[in-house]
Amino acid sequence: MTDIEIKTTAQLLDEFVTNQIRCWMSQEKLMDTELSDEERLTWAVRAQEQNSKRTELIRILDVRFNSPGFTNQSKTYHTYLGEDK
């Protein structure tokens, strides 16, 4: 049995909200042009790790709420990289 299988739905939702904040913060740091390339790379890796965890949590929550396959799991990086900077 995995860790996720023994967590309550409320615990998973709490973890999801915390993950969303961490993902957002990592993406904000990634786009901070005042940081060095090395620091930005570190934040890029963290953002990807958080996004992977986000996807895992979305999938298990979809199962718990009996709605598999309906949640948008797309990444949001593209919103930062537009021409309108």
What digits encode the pLDDT tens for the residues 36-77? Answer: 999 999 999 999 999 999 999 988 888 888 875 556 655 555
Whether residue 29 lies inside any domain: the answer is yes
End-to-end Cα spacing for the chain:
47
pLDDT at 85: 45
Whether residue 76 lies inside any domain: the answer is no
Whether residue 42 lies inside any domain: the answer is yes
Whether residue 70 lies inside any domain: the answer is no
Whether residue 2 lies inside any domain: the answer is no
Whether residue 71 lies inside any domain: the answer is no
Spatial CA neighbour of 9 closest among 17, 55, 48? 17
Burial class (CB in 10 A: 0-12, 13-18, 19+), 40: middle
Tell me 81's DSSP state. Answer: S
Question: How many domains are there within the chain?
Answer: 1
52: domain range? 8-64
Spatial CA neighbour of 80 closest among 40, 32, 19, 36? 32
How high is the mean pLDDT of the chain? 82
